[in-house]
Amino acid sequence: MSIFAEQTGIARESVTVGVGPLSIADVVAVARHDARVELDADALASVDDTRTVVEALADDPNPHYGISTGFGALATTFIDKDLRAQLQLNIVRSHAAGSGPEVEREVTRALMLLRLSTLMTARTGVRRITAESFAAMLNAGITPVVHEYGSLGCSGDLAPLSHCTLAAMGEGEVRDGAGNLVDAASALADAGIEPLALAEKEGLAMINSTDGMLGMLALALTDLETLMATADIAAAMSVEGLLGTDAVFAADLHALRPQPGQGVSAENLRRLLEDSPIVASHRAPHPGGVQDAYSLRCAPIVHGAARDTVAHARRVAEFELASAVDNPVVTLDGRVESNGNFHGAPIGYVLDFLAIIAADVASMSERRTDRFLDPARNHGLPPFLAHNAGVDSGLMIAQYTAAGIVSELKRLAVPASVDSIPSSAMQEDHVSMGWSAARKLRRSVDGLTRVLAIEVMTAARGIDLRAPLAPSRATGAVIGALREQVAGPGPDRFLAPEIEATRQLVASGAVAAAASGVVGGLR
């Protein structure tokens, strides 16, 4: 359990589905921290009521899409009643066509939870047993094998959800609660779960949504909100270690450009650097013409713009969490209507936008790291922060690692959502590629985490080399937490484990928690 999860209440024992929209914290609690899923009794009763609408249409001699017709380009093909169960089975089997590496367990669990949430809105027309099957699998820790490739983000995440539904039917492969790869039938039997036999419309209802990309968005937002605070901490440490000024973070200066995220970031930097002996040591006299490099001076502007982007993406995610995405959908007045709500554009756009800010925040962080290593710019520190420069290389190659990651992040910032490859015989002639945007964002978040970790590690060494000058209480607490796992300056040693240990501290929220423990919660 991460420190950040405990701070934000994500660590919880259960999440009730059906009493209203799930929160991002709910999604993370189930997907990442294995909170138990409970189904609201009143919502299940509504599911029963709506199912009667679908069953009435199943008896209608007129065709109804998804109930008595084929799918996609085959929507005009009428299906006889005695073949409709086979139709539902076939759509799941044929659409479970993913390829490539297995996606992460938390992604699949988020995908299943969000589909379950929509089923519990009673707008899809499924039976209660269908909803109960996904809940039982989540609670048993059964995770279907879902592959990297297969979704175009329209009509939703078809292939990923098909693999999940196939597993609920007792077919395909899953990971059991211990993480072992087993066949779905055996895992269901061991958990006492009956394989699901789909009825009219249920095959389509189980797979026609944007739940995979939305789940990955929820997970990324949780991580990025921690990383935004960590970026401010890393920048504050760099300001100290590079003998920068805190004067540029003054509230009245940032009030002249009242972007909300910028104001938050500047306030964080002021709090983090408050009463810093290192900063005070060169504060006055301070010639008016002296200005720090942009990577120090402009940190609140870049970090603030990133924060505002994250806030916008969170609003989009919250709207999506309140949605009931299916096609056709059962309306509140009992109509069954086709629609286009499965298109992933709203999610795809913000997923791409977040990849852009991950790349840019990381780019600025790497530039601060690089300044520490250059004796022409680091104000008296040894080259590469080496113990004995020449014999020792110090953190020279740690910066190479950060630079390589930043280069990769720039490539990942190229948007996926502007691409579209028509499918289904041109019936589905514009798609969102939101799943692809989400997959690359996960890599972007991981890359940003690693780049910030290298800056924290580098800045901590730079600050240590300023002794006897001391850092602020907040940044000192971060260095104290780091030094429990990563040694301070000294002769060259195996760096990769130290980078990984720092990455784990950043990813878990421990770096943010250490600073927040001194100055209060960072926004």
What is the model's pLDDT at position 8? 45
* Pick from 72, 33, 36, 66: nearest CA to 219: 33
Please say if the pLDDT value at position 155 is more than 80.
Answer: no
Q: Is the dihedral of CA 434, 116, 159, 340 positive or negative?
A: negative
Phi/psi region, residue 443 (left: phi>0; alpha: psi -120 to 50; beta: rest), is alpha
Cβ-contact 451, 406 below 8 angstroms? yes
Please say if the pLDDT value at position 443 is more than 60.
Answer: yes
What is the model's pLDDT at position 1? 30
What is the model's pLDDT at position 302? 98
Q: How many CB atoms lie within 10 A of CB 437?
A: 29
Please say if the pLDDT value at position 9 is more than 60.
Answer: no
What is the model's pLDDT at position 168? 98
Q: Determine the Cα–Cα distance for residues 122 and 348; give it in Å rounded to an integer.
A: 26
How confident is the model over 416-426, as a mean pLDDT? 86
Convert the pLDDT of each residue in 297-338 to its tens digit.
999 999 999 999 999 999 999 999 999 999 889 999 989 888
> β-pairing, 14-17 with 36-39?
parallel
Work out the pLDDT band at 507, boundaries 50, 70, 90: very high
What is the model's pLDDT at position 260? 98
* 48: exposed, middle or buried (Cβ count in 10 Å: 0-12, 13-18, 19+): exposed
Q: Active site residue: 65, 149, 349, 400, which one?
A: 65
What is the model's pLDDT at position 285? 58
What is the model's pLDDT at position 100? 97
Task: Out of 1.10.30.50, 3.10.520.10, 1.20.200.10, 1.10.630.10, select the CATH number for domain 217-519.
Answer: 1.20.200.10
What is the model's pLDDT at position 65? 72
Query: What are the structural domain ranges in the chain?
Result: 3-209, 217-519
Residue 80 structure tokens: 């006889």
Convert the pLDDT of each residue in 261-299 to its tens digit.
999 999 999 999 999 999 999 876 554 446 899 999 999
How confident is the model over 442-459, as a mean pLDDT? 98
Q: Which has the minimum average pLDDT: 83-92, 94-103, 184-193, 424-433?
A: 424-433
Q: How far is CA 116 from the centre of its chain?
A: 19
What is the model's pLDDT at position 70? 67
Q: Quick one: angle between helices 434-464 and 211-241, nearest 10?
A: 20
What is the model's pLDDT at position 71? 66
Convert the pLDDT of each residue in 202-250 to its tens digit.
998 999 889 999 999 999 999 999 999 999 999 999 999 999 999 999 9
What is the model's pLDDT at position 72? 62
What is the model's pLDDT at position 328? 87
How confident is the model over 129-145, as a mean pLDDT? 98
Mean pLDDT of the chain, nearest integer: 93
At the topology level, CATH places domain 3-209 in Fumarase C; Chain B, domain 1 (1.10.275)
Please say if the pLDDT value at position 74 is more than 60.
Answer: yes
Q: Which has the minimum average pLDDT: 86-95, 171-180, 221-230?
A: 86-95
Q: Could you give the percent of the chain with pLDDT greater than 90?
A: 81
How confident is the model over 491-515, as a mean pLDDT? 98
Respond yes or no: is residue 65 known to be catalytic. Answer: yes
Report the run of H or E that residue 127 belongs to, with start and end.
none
Q: pTM score, two decimals?
A: 0.94
Please say if the pLDDT value at position 52 is more than 80.
Answer: yes
Work out the pLDDT band at 63, boundaries 50, 70, 90: confident
Half-sphere exposure of 516 (CA within 13 A, CB side): 15
Q: Which has the minimum average pLDDT: 79-88, 103-112, 126-135, 440-449?
A: 79-88
Please say if the pLDDT value at position 20 is more than 60.
Answer: yes
Work out the pLDDT band at 357, boundaries 50, 70, 90: very high
**Cis-peptide into 285, omega within 30 deg:** yes
